[in-house]
Structure formats: C-alpha cells, structure tokens
A and B are shown apart, each in its own frame.
Chain A
Amino acid sequence: MLANLAILGGTIASFWTVWATLLGFALLLSAGSNVINALKRPPFNTLTSLALILGTAGMVFVALFSSPKMGLATVWALYVLWPVFAVLAGVMIVSRLFKARLGLYGRIFDSPIGMVGLAICFFWIIAALMADLLPLYGPLEALSKNNGTIVQGVTRKFKLGAEALNGLSYADYVRLSLADAAEYGKLYKSNIRGGAPLVSWVGDEGEKLPAILGTDKANRDIFSRLIYGARTVLPLSIGATLVSFTVGITLGLLAGYRGGWFDQVITFAANAILAFPVIVLFYLIVLVGKDGNLSRILATAIFAFPLLLVLAGLWGLYSVKMGRLIAILVVFLPIALFLYLRNTWGLPDLSGVGAWVAAIFGGGNAQREADIAIAVTNFAQMEPRMLNVFVAVAFSSAPGAFRLVRGLTLDVKDRDYVAAAQTRGENQFYIMIFEILPNVRGPLMVDAALRIGYTAILLGTLGFLALGLPQESADWGSMIAHGRGQLRFEPQMAVIPALCIVSLVLGLNLLADTLREQSLKD
C-alpha cells in the first residue's frame, strides 16, 4: 500500500515537474531578462514564487527519492518529449517576439497566467501533431510479441526471458535502484529491439524506450497511449464544440435578431435542455438509439447547422452578385452535401466503389486490396460511434452557446452600423452573419475555449460510462475507465489520464480568462 502511495506521489510529482518547467519557462519569456521583477508583479509576489520554487524542488526531491525510478520516468518522459518542448519553445518565443503585431493573440503574452495556459494548450496540440515522430509505441500496439515475451497478459508482469527481473511488476520496477533500473532498461530495450520498430530515429538501431508508465491490461504502453490520446481528444473536443457552437450561433442569431415567437420557443427549449440532467440525456441518446438511428437523426439535424450557416452567409454576401453566388454554390454544395450525408447516414454507400478501386489498384495483393477497400469505404466518414459524441456535446453545449449569442445579438443589433446595413437594404442573413457575428467574437472565443475544456471532460465522462468512443480507443476518458479496476494497485493507470484532462481544461481556462481580461483592457 505504501509503495502505491509512493508511486502516486511520484506520479503527481513528475507531472508537477513537467508543468512547473512549463510555468518557469512562461515566466522567463514573459519577463524577458527581468525574471525577478516578473516574480514581484501580480499574480506572483516574492512569497508565492518562493513557495513555487521550493514546492517544485520538493516535488522533484519526492519524485527522485520516494521512488527513484519515478524520477527517472520523469526524465525519460522529458527525453521522449523533447522535440515537443523544442517546437513549443520555438512557437512561444516567436510569438512573444512578434506579440505587438499579433493582435489579441499577442496580448496573451502580456500575462504570465495566459502564457502558462497557452503553453499547456500548445503542448498538447504539438504533442498530438508530432506523436508519430516520437519514439512511442502505437496506441493499440501490445508489447507482447517479441523474443522471449516481455509482458505476460493481464498481470503486467515483466518477464525478461529467464532473467533475474522475472516477475517484476511495475511497482517493483519503480522501486528498483537506479543502477538496477539502468540494467533493466538495457535488457528491456534489447528485448524490444528485436521487433520491427516503428520509429528509427532514436539511436542508430532504432531503439525504443521502456514503458515509462507501465502498460495496461492489454499490454499497451500507457505513456504512448496518453500522447496519442491527445490525437483523439483534441480534434474531437474542438470539432464537437465547434459544431455545437454553430448550432448555438445560428439559433442565437435568429432568436436574438428576429425575436418574437421564434425566440420564445427556442429560448424555452434551450432552458428545458439545460435543466435536464445531462447524464440521463446521454443514456437516452446512446442507449435508446442503440441501433444508432436516434443519434443519426439527431446528427442529421445538428450537422445541418454548419451547412445552413455557410449557405446563409453566402446568400447574404452574394445576393447582389448572383453570378458569383451560383459559381460558388456549384463547387461548394456537392462537396458539402457529400460530407453531410456521409457523416450522418453513410450515404452514398462507397463499399461498391471500394471493391472496385481495390480491384484496380490492389495489384492482386489481398492484404493491400482489403486495406484499399476499407479506406475507400470509410472515406470522409467518421466512425458511427463518434456521432454519439457529437450529439451529446451538441446537447450539452449548444444551449449555453445559444444563450450567449442571443444575449450578445440583442445588444449589438441596436448599434448604428446594423441600422446602416438595414438602410442600405441588406438582407437579414448578411446582417446576422457579417454585421453582428464578427462583432461578438470576443466573448464567443472565450466561451469556446472554456467549452472545449468541458467537452474534453465530457468525452472523459462518456468514455468512463462506455457510452462514447470504442473501448480500445486511446482517449483519456476510456483510459480512466480502463484503469479504475487497478486503482488500488496501479493508481497511475487512471490518475495520469485524469491529470491529462485536468491539465488541458486548466490550460484552456487560463487561456480563456486571459483572453477575456486582455480583450477588456486597452
């Protein structure tokens, strides 16, 4: 038990170390040469910064000495991720240098808090983008195949052939002395090296790293999955939030600008949805529509909003230039409709085309043919279970976005420039999309940043309830669900993905706060 606590402490400590590094880094940047002064300014005064530094040092101490391997794991993690940190540093430094010319984005660099938030968000974005370049295992790759089996089933015992380290659990591994660990690592690596490495740029022989945080029940490397998890979590939470925002924006603009019965009905509906317990809602959506049709129907409605918003915008903009409007529609409509139908009802069915294309390009190789057929069949179509996520997010985020946009619209629609647009005969879509929407973007951006965070939590919840993505998906929520059985013995399995969600939400919150603050200042 104590050992587990040590692991837990070490886990948190190593996380803390990583973030403290980021924080210190942001501080350094924001202060330029004068770190001490920056520490004296709010929100840092000398005392808190002293506490921060001591705290960090203490954490590193705990990490290194409570479980030497844990400290080592931190170092490993930093080592594996160094390209991410390098790119992050580059982006931050360049942004900081040109902050005067970068508008609101540049102003984030006036606030240490905002820079920390931004650094956290960028960290995950860059990590997601670079995951394939890092010496990681695949998100679904089980570490079991190669010479002399390293991992044995669910017990996660590391067995290095007949070596002395036979039967070592992750907790044991962590408690090894540094020297042993080095030896172990060597053996460990030498065993893996036998397989076909995915990545070959670390070292000459394409070596891979040990499972820094151990493996899960299916023998997959947790650390690798965490980084790949960002690839699922980020696009999905951003995408789902944006789609639900377009729902909120479209309805909010209409309700705010038109008013009347439409406003009353939609506002009532939004309040009703907000009052409904979301979890129950999710169960309803996902379980009632087990066959997938309910979420398909809802998705049909939800995905129509981005389409309609773009169409309304085009109509507003080009209603004076019909020729141009038609030219744009000829290109835009087929593509948009194709994407829309593919992602709602899977229409048109491409499996026939897939078989046909496979036959032509497969070159007789059965494996290749199958791959091609699958690729074509799934072309431009998201996994059906993702629809659940989009629907759930739309239900939980759209009413809030709606209320926000409606309120802002009510405020802006009485401005003189809106009246000016009316007096030159603009139609209502032009006014809503080009006169009102761009001028409420500030609060919307802040809200969107927050909501992406909420969506990440929501994905976690859905994953935890097994309502969201497929079980084996590497998203953080599913990983928490996966690890919760081992919480007592291997706490890092659930705690670390949870910390990933926390860090992303925290980063987005800090960012949103700073955006709000900086946009108010002048």
Chain B
Amino acid sequence: MSKVEIAGLDPNAPVLECRNLSLSYFTRAGEIPAVVDFNMTVMPGEAVGLVGESGCGKSTVALGVMNYMGSTGKVVSGQILYKGRDILTMSPEETRQIRGSEIAMVYQEPMASLNPSMKIANQLMEVPLLHEDVTREEARQRSRDILEAVRLPDPDRIMNAYPHQLSGGQQQRVVIAMALLSKPSLLLLDEPTTALDVTVEASIVDLVRDLAAEFGTSMVYISHNLGLILDTCDRINVMYAGEAVEFGTVDEVFNKMRHPYTQGLFRSIPLPGTDKNASPLVPIRGQLPLPQDRPLGCNFQDRCDHYKPGWCDQADIDMRAVQDQPGHLSRCLRFNEIDWTAPPKVEAQAESALAGDIVLDVKDLKKYYEVAANAFLSAGERRTIKANEEVDLVAREAETVAIVGESGCGKSTLAKVLLGLETATKGEAKLNGQVISNTPVQSRAPETLGSLQMVFQNPFDTLNPSQTVGAQIIRALEKFGIGTTDGERESRMLDLLDLVKLPRDFANRMPRQLSGGQKQRIGIARAFAGNPAVVVADEPVSALDVSVQAAVSQLLMDIQREHRTTLLFISHDLSIVRYLSDRVVVMYLGHVVEQGSTEQVFSPPYHPYTEALLSAVPIADTRVKKRRIILDGDIPSALNPPSGCPFQTRCPRKAQVEGDLCETTLPPMRTLSDGHQVKCHLAQSILDEMEAVIQTDAITAAADEGADLLGSEASKPGLIGRVRRALSRENSEKPALGSA
C-alpha cells in the first residue's frame, strides 16, 4: 500500500466498511459474542461516531478494525474492508504496515500509548523512521512540526520531555500527534477525552475536528457522550448489547430517532432549558444484559417501553431503513408504530423542598499543605501547596450546592477539610453552628460523623471488595452510634436498602456481584446511614453510564428531598449541575471565583472562567448554539500559583482590564446582585455586555406554551423559582447571602 493509491482514492468509495461483522472473545466462560452483525461505512474525510453504554462493544469494533484483538478475540464472521480490501485476509506483514501508517488509534488512557522511559522526540521520530524512508533529521523536523500542529506550546521543550513531565491533556495531544504523524487515512479514537477535564476536552475535540478537516482524515470517534459526538461527527452509530441499533446522520439520530434505546439515551441526559422538576430525567430501567444472556429477538426488550410480547422476542432483528431516509437504519421492529413525539411517562412528582436555615457555613477557609522539598531529610527547605486559598460558602437545609471546577482546583481538598480528613490551616467551617474545620475525623463525636458524610466518585472503589454490602452498612451504623443491638442495626440496614431501591437480599452480596449503579446506590445508603445533615457527593455519577446516571442522581435527589439533607454536589459536568443544583460555587486554583443561584451563574454576566467552562460543556442538542471559548494551557500548579488573579494565565478577557491589574492584584469578591458574587477586575460595563454562552432560544421558541427556562424570571413553578423566593425572603432578614 502506498500513498499514491490513497491520493487516487475514489471520494465516493468508503475508506472503511464493516460488513456483517461478528467479533467474539473466547474465554473460560465460553464464547462471548462482543459484537454481532455489525455494519458501518466510513467515507473519506468523514467522522462517524460510535455511542453506547460501556460494554456494548464499541472498543471491540475499533480493536477489530485494527486487527488487534489479543489472544482471546476472534473475528467470527464478516468482513472489514479497508479501501476495498479485506483486512482479515491480509498477511501479518501487510496488516502491520497498515496498522502503522494507514490506520491509527488513540486510546482513552494516553499513557497506554506512550513509553514512560523514552523521550517524546524519540517516540515520535520512530513512526516515520519505521514506516517511511526518511533521515533522522527529517523525522525530527516532522515530529516537531506535528507537535506544533496539535497546538502544544513550546514544542522544543516537549520534544525533550519524558511523558510523565507532561499533563494529561498534553500527553493526549502527543498521542494524537503520534497518530497523525504517519498521515493515516483513518483515525480511530476510543474515548480520547474521557480522562480529561472539560476545558481540556473541549480544546482536544476542537483540535481533532480541525486536524481531520486539514488532513482529510476519516475518523471513527467512540464516546458515551452524545454531546461530544454532536460536536465531532457527521454520522453516528448507536450500539446496544453488541449490535448497532440505529445508524444515521447526526440530524436524523438526534432529532428523528427511530429506536427506543436512542430515545432513552436522550431522555436520560439533562439538556439546557430543563430543570429537575419541570422535566425530570427519565432513566432507562434495568441493565445491559450480559453477552451470554442476551434474549432471543430484540436485545433491548427487557428495558423497552414499546416491547410487544410475541412480536419483539421471536427472532433476531435486522437493520431496516427508515422510510424516506435511505441512510437511516434502525433495528426496531415497531419504529413505524411508535409515536416518537409522545412525552415520556413521568412518575408522580414530589413536592420540592424549601431551603431552610444555614447548616454549613464556611468562612475564609485556607488549606495549605507543607511538603518537604527534599524527601529524606525533612529538615530541609519546605514548599507550600495552596490547595484552598480563600473559600467562603454557605449551604442551607435541603439545598443543593454545586461546587464546580477543573481537577486540581481544590474541590476535593474542601471536601476533605469538611469531613475532617484534613484540618484547616486558617478560617473555619461550621456545621450547625459548631466549628468542625479544626477537628480531625478521629476526634469527632459519632453524631458529627454521622451528620456529615460523603458519596464517592468511583463505584468500583467505593465499597470494600472483601466485605458484604450489608456488613459495610452495619459497620457505618455502629460507628455513628445508631441502634443499640445488632438486630436493630440489621433492620435499619435493610431499611436503608429499601431507601436506595435495592432488593433486601443484596445485603449478603459481595460488591463484585453488583453493577456500577448498584454499588453507587450502596454508597448512598451508607452515606445516609446516620441521618446526615450534610452529604458531600464527589462526582457521584460521573463514572456511570448515562442511562444509569439519571436513575442514581434522581435517587439522590429524592432521598435528599425527603430527609431535607444539604447536598454539596461536586462536579465538573455543568449540564447535570445546572439541572439539579440550587446554587453553584465555581472554584479555580483554591479560590471561589463566582457563586450565586444556578440561574445567576448560568446566565451573564459571568466570571471569565465560568464563561469558558460553560462553553466547554458538550451539549447533545442540535438546536443549541454555543459561543466557543477555548482556554489555552493547563491549570497552573498550586505549588506555584500565579500572582494577582489566579486565572490570569489563561484568561481570554484579561486584555479588557486596564494596565497590569490582573497580574498584580488579587481581585476582590464583588457582589453583582443578590447573592451573586464574582471575583474579577472586569469593569461593570463589560460584565453588563456579556452575551449568553449557550443560546437556547431555538428550544424556547419550539417548546409549547413557553416551557420555563432557567433564567426566565417570572412565574417559575420549579424548585429553583421557589428556592429563590425562599431565599429572597431570607435575604430581607439577613443581609448578604453567600458571603454571610
């Protein structure tokens, strides 16, 4: 295969074509049909998205195309045509050649593709040296150029760096650069940004799109995030349980979907313009069936609202074209009978709770970590990590306060101080009037422990793998001093299982017998064991599949409402934050840079950092228009924070401030309106002129009788309106909210 052939490639012939492809893994448990009867075409220059829950076979498709399925994976039937030739019939030598120079793959974890003991320069230069006849000088020059092309600052420094000296975003850019070096005609990206922060994700997605346009590369973009797919792809392939269930252009699939699973996916993610009371998320019930126990007929039948017995479960279903849309295929037997515009069935709505008294009050909290510059002799020089520099916030009873910001901004440190895993360096945090920021967790009374609990991020890490679920909850009850006898605690534990809607016999299960969502529910049960006043939830759903995310966040909100618990919701996912929180605190490098009610934070004026964050959120709605603000660079190290405004190294609006104020002076916290505070030097006139980042007018116009939008003031029936009314009542009695 030479480049000449590519140049002469027919633009109407697909670069990649999968025909009736079936891929299986052969394991101890027998054959696992990971992908069944899969069809896909990728045209030159086109980007095709693969979406679906984890385990549905997306990665297997990519690995199959790379012909790289390990010792257990095998192609069972079908063809993979690359430029018309079947990859499966090629000699190993040919496949290796194609793998290196024609098809390139980028994995989720950048370090999986980088050799930790080799300099970037050598790793990059290897690519042209191996696959083309070039001199070392040429190879070096090309490597340097490609680093520039992926917008890495200071390519010369990076050429001489080892992978661990780069940040995650930079590593992923290097991997993309490496993939592009051989000028592949096809680039496979398997969740390339899942491990990265939103702002970094946004810039990488941008980069990938531009590069593909520039080089004419075709792409297969794998993601579970519909918003990202919308941002990057032309056509998408929705996968479920090893099968493609819907295939079509972005517009067809997003707006005229013809498979209940696709619809379920869209209904389980929060879209702008919705709130948790007006249009609750609708989770897809049940779970993805294991490959071994897929039912006869439609794989989705157990979870489908349109399932018709004796019809959907009779025989395997083929992909069929939707009428008038030749390229739009669906694997549903009934897509013509289903009313696709019918609103989702919604459970009876709970009465939303009013925010009560202040429960948690954090004032000017500082947390510095001292680290010895020299590890062995601790007497040497010491350096300070300023994890939390100035944190002020209050949270009221039954209120959800979201804390957002990129990783490393001090969210988790704040949580640790509140929970007593660390003590504050300065300032204080009060729980129901009692100072807790200086009491380490070991010295806290059982009631205090029980009244301030945490839900953790990673479902696979949140439970002790060696103890039964029931034993772990009972242990928490013991520690919180709940119940006097073992029997009492046992029955309380079963009540908690009921609370999180899990069957009681789960008490005897080991964590590994539970799915991710179920584990997260146990984590929630454990956190609510001691009737907590405050629950800190650190990204409680971000590691779950979208369809499960909705169910778990719904559950969390229900329990919170019922128990009038204050929820501190730490997240980087602004769509979900917008959807379920009452107030938002935006943090950057240890500072609270903006806080206010949800609609205050999500509508202009913004802090420049909030503005950039909002712009980075991928939104799975074709009608939404976004202003693009790409942040350059990475969040600075807390060991060495910039002078003046913490955001000044990346701020796109710095130029709008006179002189070098931003570089020299830390901006004061300004109150813009009731409870809305911003830490920025920008003049009022500039703040006033800011435009909304996310334009949802199209949705508003389309919606019947003007569905209430966040931000539209009057007559809001939803929680937010009510909370705001409650707050303004409070405010007439107490002066400033939030800075209290």
Contact = CB atoms under 8 A, between A and B. Distances in A.
11 contacts: A415-B461, A416-B462, A420-B456, A420-B523, A422-B419, A422-B421, A423-B419, A423-B441, A425-B442, A427-B442, A438-B467
Interface in A411-439: 415-417, 419-427, 434-435, 438-439
Given A320-B478, A415-B461, A424-B475, 13 more contacts: A416-B462, A417-B462, A423-B419, A423-B420, A423-B452, A424-B449, A424-B453, A424-B479, A425-B441, A425-B479, A426-B479, A434-B467, A521-B28
Given A261-B378, A423-B453, A417 B464 contact: yes
A172 interface: no
A425 B449 contact: yes
A146 interface: no
Nearest to A437: B466
A425 B464 contact: no
Interface string B416-445: 000111000000000000000000011010
B526 interface: yes
B151 to A, nearest CB: 33
Interface in B586-601: none
Contact of B465 (A110, A419, A426, A439): A439
Interface in A435-461: 435, 438-439, 441
Contacts of A424: 449-450, 453, 475-476, 479-480
Contact of A320 (B376, B456, B463, B479): B479
B28 A420 contact: no
Interface of A: 110, 261, 264, 320-321, 415-417, 419-427, 434-435, 438-439, 441, 521
A420 B454 contact: yes
B451 to A, nearest CB: 12
B464 A264 contact: no
B173 to A, nearest CB: 27
B458 interface: yes
Given A264-B376, A423-B441, A416 B479 contact: no
A490 B479 CA distance: 68
Contact of A419 (B376, B421, B466, B478): B421
B456 A416 contact: yes
Contacts of B376: 264
A427 B464 CA distance: 16
Nearest to B376: A264
Contact of A423 (B28, B421, B467, B475): B421
Interface string B357-377: 000000000000000000010
B456 A422 contact: no
A261 B379 CA distance: 12
B457 A416 contact: yes
Contact of A416 (B449, B458, B466, B476): B458
A242 B446 CA distance: 37
A93 to B, nearest CB: 20
Nearest to B536: A423
Nearest to A440: B466
A425 B462 contact: no
A323 to B, nearest CB: 12
Contacts of B465: 417, 438-439
A272 B444 CA distance: 41
B461 A416 contact: yes
Contacts of A264: 376
A419 B480 contact: no
A435 B511 CA distance: 14
B674 to A, nearest CB: 34
A424 B419 CA distance: 9
Most-contacted residue by chain B among A261, A423, A439 (CB, 10 A): A423
Contacts of A417: 461-465
Nearest to A522: B27
Contacts of B475: 424
A423 B464 contact: no
B438 to A, nearest CB: 16
A425 B444 contact: yes
A445 B373 CA distance: 37
Nearest to B456: A416
A101 to B, nearest CB: 14
Contacts of B478: 320-321
B649 to A, nearest CB: 29
A334 to B, nearest CB: 27
Contacts of A415: 461
Contacts of B479: 320, 424-426
Contacts of B457: 416
Contacts of A320: 478-479
Interface residues of B, number: 32
A496 B441 CA distance: 60
B456 A419 contact: yes
B71 to A, nearest CB: 10
Contacts of B523: 420
B174 to A, nearest CB: 26
A423 B463 contact: no
Contacts of A425: 441-442, 444, 446, 449, 479
Nearest to A414: B461
A422 B441 contact: yes
A425 B378 CA distance: 29
Nearest to A317: B475
Nearest to A415: B461
A420 B462 contact: yes
A417 B463 CA distance: 5
Nearest to A320: B478
Contacts of A426: 479
B421 to A, nearest CB: 6
Contacts of A434: 464, 467
Contacts of B526: 420
Nearest to B378: A261
A422 B446 CA distance: 13
Contacts of B461: 415-417
A419 B441 CA distance: 11
Given A261-B378, A264-B376, A423 B449 contact: yes
B464 A419 contact: no
A178 B523 CA distance: 74
A439 B449 CA distance: 25
A118 B450 CA distance: 48
A438 B465 CA distance: 8
Contact of B466 (A110, A261, A422, A438): A438
Nearest to A261: B378
Contacts of B467: 434, 438
B379 to A, nearest CB: 11
Interface in B468-485: 475-476, 478-480
* Smallest CB-CB A-B distances: 8 pairs: A438-B466, A416-B456, A416-B461, A424-B479, A417-B464, A425-B449, A416-B462, A423-B419
B434 to A, nearest CB: 16
Contacts of A521: 28
A104 to B, nearest CB: 12
Contacts of A261: 378
A414 B732 CA distance: 45
B466 A439 contact: yes
Given A425-B441, A425-B446, A425-B449, A419 B378 contact: no
Nearest to B523: A420
Nearest to B512: A522
Interface in B334-377: 376
A321 B441 CA distance: 19
Contacts of A420: 454, 456, 462, 523, 526
Contacts of B419: 422-423
A435 B464 CA distance: 6
A31 B479 CA distance: 51
Nearest to A424: B479
Nearest to B449: A425
A421 to B, nearest CB: 8
A424 B420 CA distance: 10
B353 to A, nearest CB: 25
Contacts of B420: 423
B654 to A, nearest CB: 36
